[in-house]
Amino acid sequence: MQVKLGEKIKELRKRDGRKKEDLANALGVTAQAVSRWESNGGYPDMSMIPAIANYFHITIDALFGYNNDRDTKIKEYVKKGNRLLIDSDGDVTECIRLMRKGLEEFPSEPELQMCLAHALRLKWSEEGERTNIYLEEAAALYEEVSKTNSDIICALLDTYSLMGEYDKAEKKAMEQPEVRRSREVLLTPIFDGEKGDRYRGEAVLALLHELSIVIDWAIARNEKLVNSKEGIKISLAVRRLYEEIFGGENYGKFHSDLCMLDLRCVKIAAGVKCYDEALEFFDSAYTHYTKFVELKKDGYFEDDHFETPLLSAVGNTSIPVIMCKAEYFDNSLSYLPEEVKAQIINNPKYAMLHEK
């Protein structure tokens, strides 16, 4: 890498609104010396490098431009790791290997630790309950990352639960702010105009998404709801809320939420032997699944552009959604009797579910 120290010094000096004389006086050199450095006519004495870095409040690595190389390499590791997670089909061995290699090069790098933890958690799912060594390491990584990134809390609590560490999960959860003190809710009344509309729209999306998750858990863990049409009724009420807010057409990445709601209804309908309804819910889930897959490009989504008044100011959001996979449909199919299952398997419309 070509070191352009003079150009970096000039860039930093202008960034801070400093004159050459200011830097020269601070270092005990002449303004002409600073001019020579900035025109690449010479380099400062190496003994001055720490003082120059301190003057601009940056590290020596940043002064020499090494941070850019470092950040580029880390981003490349993370990009490859996320790609391996998305395309893993359950086997995350290669992702784990790559992240361990990355951490050898960049120890304690949070983004690499986080990606490795995600992979280890999936590795546990692949191995089943035979061992929890993967979860123990994943939890340790999440705990380390959580010191600087509170967004990792959901993954950490989920890992605690998988380990049977329910008291630890509860304690950590109770330390978090209640819904009314969340960032999204607090931002809703502050601004008027487009900025305010954006914050309010984002809050609606975030709360709606979390509502769908909480409702799904509430139904799945309630014997009366998961084994009766009452569970379907509640799920459909949430779906109608999505339809009203989004306008019933463009759901962006939130097609995933609707897909999961419909798949829950498939299981409930199958349990109460309402197989025609189960088929309808399966078809609706598949429609949302195919639209979700179409929107997904290179593992990411382009900015969503919603047209309803409530969401028109919202662009791309950081709200994470479940990445729809064909395996989720296999799970729902297992609730159906063979003759009903055959209607789906033999229907060419659902061929995408059988593609490997």
**Which of 176, 192, 226 marks a domain boundary?**
176
Residue finishing a domain among 148, 176, 204: 176
With residue 22 as reference, give the H or E element that holds it.
helix 20-27
Clarify whether residues 262 and 157 are in a common domain.
Answer: no
* Half-sphere exposure in the Cβ direction for 33 (13 Å, CA): 14
Do residues 268 and 340 both lie within one domain? yes
Q: How confident is the model at residue 122 (pLDDT cuts 50, 70, 90)?
A: confident
Write the pLDDT tens digit of every residue in 282-338.
999 999 999 998 887 655 565 567 889 999 998 878 888 888 888 899 999 999 999
Say if residue 45's pLDDT is above 70: yes
State whether 44 and 74 are in the same domain.
Answer: no
Bridge partner residues of 297 (DSSP): 300
Do 119 and 200 belong to one domain? no
Which CATH number characterizes residue 146's domain? Answer: 1.25.40.10
Do residues 201 and 328 share a domain?
A: yes
How many domains is the chain built from?
Answer: 3
Distance separating alpha carbons of residues 144 and 298, to the nearest angstrom: 29
Whether residue 319 sits in one domain with residue 190: yes
pLDDT tens-digit series, residues 60-98: 877 887 666 778 889 999 999 988 887 766 678 999 999
pLDDT at res. 266: 97
Residue 212 and residue 325 share a domain: yes
pLDDT in tens, 229-267: 999 999 999 999 999 999 977 898 999 999 999 999 999
The reported pLDDT for the residue numbered 128 is 55
354 or 26: which carries more pLDDT confidence? 26
Same domain, residue pair 130 and 276: no
Task: Quote the distance between the C-alpha of residue 114 and its chain's center.
Answer: 11
Strand partners, 95: none
Q: Which of 176, 206, 234 is the last residue of a domain?
A: 176
The CATH number of the domain holding residue 20 is 1.10.260.40
Show the domain range for 133.
Answer: 67-176
Amino acid at site 88:
S
Same domain, 293 and 307: yes
Do residues 259 and 326 both lie within one domain?
yes
Query: How confident is the model over 151-167, as a mean pLDDT?
Result: 92
- pTM, whole model, 2 decimals? 0.71
Answer whether 5's CB lies under 8 Å from 64's CB: yes
Residues 71 and 56 in one domain: no
Claim to verify: residue 305 and residue 331 sit in the same structural domain: yes
